[in-house]
Chain A
């Protein structure tokens, strides 16, 4: 479904991705953990085509992201959903309109079909009661859930989560992680999640990859990776919380 092979990317003189390779199978949930500023979000931006690799292959659903462009890229993105770190909801639109936006702009669905779909995805994230509120009127956790509903509304085959627990308290963070897991099981989508949170990794991931210095240091089932003896992985996971 998603394949990165020997991908390199540098910004100015800083090498962010350095021969990065991994594959995500259909229906698999990959979690990528790594230190802040290591370039985890950059990986997601390569997968969705917001950034282009300097070298290597980025393949999503059989499309080479280096050569795809224009209408083909737009069509591919309609099969992908992206949950932003800070939700990135449009401030002047209500919760309902935020979710309806991609359906109104990119599909030919009727108004009633759009209304039904919006309420359906709001139901999936337990936010039906807040559909008339504006982003500024709801909490960070609720914004995340609305962002998730927006990512789901177009029936994506691939979901990308950029630090879904960022800025949330532990309880809300766990709730979002459980929600992502439940949606994966119910909808069977392929997903890539970047996170700092061990709890999120354990809840969401089928596979956990530890990323640093532009490469995957170690990957495998989350419990195996978290219990591994890899020196750098142990240092990263046992670092004290500030």
Chain B
């Protein structure tokens, strides 16, 4: 076996297998969309688990992201006498990029890891095999509610993240950059007034589209990683690590392509 063949067998083959399995899970979930009526109770439970339990972390992180943006942009803009534009810059940065991405990263770290650990433990303890043996549709029973819940929750969390991020930036603008809070807010809202699809601000809905896709992706990766867990506790650990790592990589890559798609 040549070096290239060995490298391919070691790295490429598993990567394609994992990607293929993730895709099949994603397709399985989409095909079961009519199961919403059957699974609404579990769906609400999962929305609570992935949304409410992550809310404080999402708000905390994005509040600080807004403050960091305001501080750094404010210092740089003030060198050119343009510090009034900090509201514009913070709002655009938060709504288009930072809130969707940082919210998705928080969800990858908290929700995707939890999904992978939970399903991975079920897998190694043969609970998932038991469901298969009982002819229970594992995708419909376990995966569908988790994926749909996170797909719905991610944009809602992102909207809230936008709000706290802009508020955080406003606090820095007033206390550190000596700007008027009302002026900052007006400036920020003006930045978001560019009309787009259905009269919604383009920056806002681009962030919402991104976060919806991120939510779906994170949940699929988390669930698929859990379903592929093998070999006891260490296998669950590996699947959890893979879930977080692969989710974050996909968030970053998708963010670039979605940004390119929406703004060109």
Tell me how many residues of A have a C-beta within 8 Å of chain B. Answer: 21
Interface 1/0 per residue, B145-178 and A, CB below 8 Å: 0000000000000000000000000000000000
Q: Does the CB pair A105–B129 fall under 8 Å?
A: no
Contact residues in B for A82 (Cβ distance below 8 Å): 130, 133
Q: Which of B127, B135, B137 contacts A90 (CB 8 A)?
A: B127
Give B88 Cβ to nearest chain A Cβ, in Å: 48
Check: B125 CB closer than 8 A to any chain A CB: yes
The total of Cβ contacts below 8 Å across the A-B interface reads 48
Q: Does the CB pair B136–A88 fall under 8 Å?
A: no
Contact residues in B for A89 (Cβ distance below 8 Å): 127, 130
Give B151 Cβ to nearest chain A Cβ, in Å: 22
Q: Does the CB pair A84–B134 fall under 8 Å?
A: no
Contact residues in B for A105 (Cβ distance below 8 Å): 134-137, 141
Give B256 Cβ to nearest chain A Cβ, in Å: 38
Check: A228 CB closer than 8 A to any chain B CB: no
Contact residues in A for B136 (Cβ distance below 8 Å): 101-102, 105-106
Q: Knowing A105-B137, A105-B141 are in contact, say whether A84-B132 is a contact too (CB < 8 A).
A: no
Q: Does the CB pair A77–B127 fall under 8 Å?
A: no
Q: Knowing A105-B137, A105-B141 are in contact, say whether A86-B132 is a contact too (CB < 8 A).
A: no
Check: B180 CB closer than 8 A to any chain A CB: no
Check: B126 CB closer than 8 A to any chain A CB: yes
Q: Does the CB pair A106–B126 fall under 8 Å?
A: no
Q: Knowing A84-B126, A86-B125, A88-B125 are in contact, say whether A102-B132 is a contact too (CB < 8 A).
A: no
Contact residues in B for A154 (Cβ distance below 8 Å): 134
Q: Does the CB pair A102–B135 fall under 8 Å?
A: yes
Q: Which of B126, B135, B137 contacts A88 (CB 8 A)?
A: B126
Chain B interface size band reads 10 to 19
Check: A110 CB closer than 8 A to any chain B CB: no
A75 to B126, CA, bound (A): 21
Give B115 Cβ to nearest chain A Cβ, in Å: 14
Q: Does the CB pair A74–B135 fall under 8 Å?
A: yes
Interface 1/0 per residue, A48-90 and B, CB below 8 Å: 1010000000000000000000000011011010101110111
Give A97 Cβ to nearest chain B Cβ, in Å: 12
Contact residues in A for B141 (Cβ distance below 8 Å): 105
A105 to B134, CA, bound (A): 9
Contact residues in A for B133 (Cβ distance below 8 Å): 48, 50, 77, 80, 82
Contact residues in A for B131 (Cβ distance below 8 Å): 90
A152 to B138, CA, bound (A): 21
Give B223 Cβ to nearest chain A Cβ, in Å: 16
Check: A112 CB closer than 8 A to any chain B CB: no
Q: Which of B125, B130, B134 contacts A106 (CB 8 A)?
A: B134
Check: A91 CB closer than 8 A to any chain B CB: yes
A106 to B135, CA, bound (A): 7
8 A Cβ contacts from B102-130 to A: 122, 125-127, 129-130
Contact residues in B for A80 (Cβ distance below 8 Å): 133
Q: List 17 A-B contacts (CB under 8 A).
A: A50-B133, A82-B130, A84-B126, A84-B130, A86-B125, A88-B125, A88-B129, A89-B127, A90-B122, A90-B130, A91-B122, A101-B134, A102-B135, A102-B136, A105-B136, A105-B141, A106-B135
> What is B's interface to A at a CB cutoff of 8 Å?
122, 125-127, 129-137, 141
What 16 additional pairs, Cβ within 8 angstroms, besides A74-B135, A84-B126, A101-B134? A48-B133, A50-B129, A50-B132, A77-B133, A78-B135, A80-B133, A88-B127, A88-B129, A88-B130, A89-B127, A89-B130, A90-B127, A101-B136, A102-B135, A105-B137, A106-B136
Top 6 A-B pairs ranked by shortest CB distance? Answer: A88-B130, A74-B135, A102-B134, A88-B126, A105-B136, A82-B133
